[in-house]
Amino acid sequence: MTGSASTEQTVRNFTANVQDALVSMQQVSRDVSVLKTDVESEVGYTIDTINNLLRRISDLNDTVSRAASQGRATGGATDLRMTAVEELASLIKVTVREMPDGRLNIETAGGVALVDKRLRQLSYPVGDGVDQPVYPPIDIRFVEEDGSMGPLTGERLDGPAIGGKLGGLIDLRDRALPAFGEEVGTLFGGLAETLNAVANASTTVPAPNRLEGRQSGMALTDRLGFTGRAVFAVTQTNGNLVARTTVDFSTLGAGATIGDAIAAINAGLGGAATATWNNGQLSITAAAPGNGVVIAQDPAQPSSRAGVGFSQFFGLNDIITSPRGTLVPPGFIGTDAHGFTTGETVELLVRDPNGRVVARQTLSPATGGTFNDLTTALNGGPLSAFGSFALDARGRMQFTPNAAIPTASVSITSDSTSRFGTGRSFASLMGLSGDNSGLNLAEVKPDVLATAQRLPLARFNLAATVGQPAIGAGDNRGATAFVDELARPVDLGRNRIVAMERYASLVLGRAGMDAAQAQDQLVDATARREDAVNRRDNFSGVNIDEELSQLVVLQNSYSAAARVMSTATEMYDTLIAMVG
């Protein structure tokens, strides 16, 4: 927002644009989910088609083998079999070997036998049309004499190495679509943090009577973890200052808790406003109905935990909300209590660069444990073969892949944890995946969207004393701050520090580039296929030009022979006439 930034129309346009951006990201997220279910359905159809082709090839193998052993022509059956093999090769990458008895042996690119003297079939459970975090592998089964499915061969097909249409579908389902969805979720998290940072450093005029925070997942007994200073003030409807206090969190002591910070706020405001805590949510309410509450950062030493200010950490003046998203890094350290109880579990898995699941682990926190305990459990489990876990500088759990598979990734398939009973889970707090950012239920606060005056644009006057104006209606410094903040780099985790404008361009640009590359690959593959078909036809099929030239030669030879026979007949008739 620039220019006449505080006008109602400008503010309405800004908040509407933010809401539109959220709705667009939510639609993209839903589209990714729908595409995954559509692709899964197509996987099932493709496997059915492959199985039908394998049966046909096996039956034609028997026909060709019997005809060859009896010295009969095999051309018709051979042509039908080749047509089936060609269609099969478009669905899955195969190796074809012709055997001495005329049969064709079919193997996958990985050497798994599908057809020899015994037929195999792909075995895959039909999905229920619901997006799943993990899909089952494709097993191989023998086929019994009566045509029914027999025992498992012990071999499986998995990943894009399957090739053909089936491999492409699996790559899209397991790698491309989840990766894009992850990026969209991360983009939302960064956008929410960026815009909420400005909102929490600003205030409306008049200030709201009550600031109600989001569910933070914290407890009163949690380590405070803040440095720097924040200003808490109460103002009248006209903006004049009623009371203020500056809380220097650094002086509260190394063992200070969130409860200690609340006590310091209440003591400093002397009853003009009261900070209360309700199972993870902080609220501050002015005592007089007409008064409002303002929170500001000290410019010299701003309050900070995990890189965000006090007001933003608890979501006291957010404009973007989500009932499922924490929206800020948690700022945990290893010795902090994890707050989960025995019996709660988190299911995690590691995927390789192709999207294949290579390891799974169930994390089972024990009551009274710390984040160090969780880190130790993760680094001692099956996932540790592919990377290591540690808390980063902003208190998020981060996974660093081993050098052998630098693009391996972690995802969470299920999570029953609830930190101190607040409803905030391990997945929503720890930032391991953009899927848990809370995008699907995010929105601009309804009151902000409906009323332009509810967007925080004014900044608190730190020089004001009691009775003097501390906030003014013409102050729109927060408006330019929204623009500036979008250009400021944000630490999104997983070694990504980038401005939101840049990151949005990267996400959308990468999607467009991937689509263009896929189209180019399709064109190249189609050209190679047509060339291969032409080479095959030239070797084993009918060359129309060559056959036409041979036909002309034969036609000319026939005409010459006819003339010789006509001449011979005439000579014979003449001879008979002379003798007779």
What single string gives the DSSP state of each residue in 545-574? HHHHHHHHHHHHHHHHHHHHHHHHHHHHHH
Q: Indicate the pTM of the whole model.
A: 0.87
DSSP symbol at 110: T
Bridge-based pairing of strands 387-391 and 357-363 is unpaired
CA 358 to chain centre: 18
| Residue pLDDT, tens place only, 27-43 | 999 999 999 999 999 99
Q: How confident is the model at residue 523 (pLDDT cuts 50, 70, 90)?
A: confident
What is the rounded distance in angstroms from the CA atom of residue 486 to the CA atom of residue 195?
Answer: 8
Helices (H), 73-219: 75-91, 164-171, 177-200
Only one residue has tokens 């607040």, namely 422
pLDDT value of position 540: 57
**pLDDT for the residue numbered 507:** 87
CA gap 339, 218 in Å, rounded: 9
Q: Given 3-state DSSP classes, what are the helix, strand and coil percentages for the chain, each rounded to the nearest 5?
A: 45, 20, 35
Of 165, 189, 181, 188, the closest CA to residue 131 belongs to: 181
**Residue 2, pLDDT above cutoff 60:** no
Integer Cα distance of 370 and 280 in angstroms: 18
Q: How many Å apart are CA 422 and CA 425, to the nearest integer?
A: 8
Q: Which of 390, 256, 230 is nearest to 312 (CA)?
A: 230
State the pLDDT confidence band at 389, using cuts at 50, 70 and 90.
very high
Convert the pLDDT of each residue in 478-508 to its tens digit: 888 998 898 899 998 877 889 888 888 888 8
Cβ–Cβ < 8 Å for 460, 471: yes
Q: Which residue has tokens 């900044």?
A: 459
Q: Which residue has the higher pLDDT, 161 or 128?
A: 161
- Tens-place pLDDT, residues 179-206: 999 999 999 999 999 999 999 999 999 9
CA-wise closest residue to 103 among 118, 121, 125, 87: 118
The type of residue at 271 is: G
DSSP state of 125: P
- Total Cβ atoms within 10 A of residue 329: 24
Structure token pair of residue 459: 């900044």
The H-assigned helical ranges of 487-543 are 500-540
Q: Where are the extended beta strands (E) located within 364-456?
A: 387-391, 397-401, 409-415, 443-444
Q: What's the CA gap between 177 and 518, in Å, rounded?
A: 14
Confirm if 238 and 473 have CB atoms less than 8 A apart. no
Residue 437 · residue 29 · CB < 8 Å: no
19-28, 119-128, 341-350: the lowest-pLDDT one: 119-128
Query: What pLDDT was estimated at residue 429?
Result: 96
Q: For 301-320, how does the pLDDT look when each residue is reduced to its tens digit (9 = 90+)?
A: 999 999 999 999 999 999 99
The crossing angle, in degrees rounded to 10, of helices 177-200 and 8-69 is: 170
Sign (positive or negative) of CA dihedral 3, 4, 9, 10:
positive
Q: Phi, psi (5° rounding) for residue 285?
A: -125, 130
Please tell me the predicted confidence (pLDDT) of residue 546.
66
- pLDDT confidence band for 3 (50 / 70 / 90): very low
User: 338-361, pLDDT tens digit by residue?
Assistant: 999 999 999 999 999 888 899 999
Exposed, middle or buried by CB within 10 Å (0-12, 13-18, 19+), for 82?
Answer: middle
Q: pLDDT tens-digit profile of 425-462?
A: 999 999 998 889 999 999 999 999 999 999 999 999 99
* Residue linked to tokens 């940072």: 197
Nearest to 407 by CA among 379, 386, 383: 386
DSSP string, 533-549: HHHHHHHHS--HHHHHH
First to last CA, the chain: 123
Q: Are 333 and 349 in contact (CB under 8 A)?
A: no
Q: What mean pLDDT, rounded, does the chain reach?
A: 91
Average pLDDT estimate for 141-169? 90
User: pLDDT of 58-94, one tens digit each?
Assistant: 999 999 999 998 889 888 899 999 999 999 999 999 9
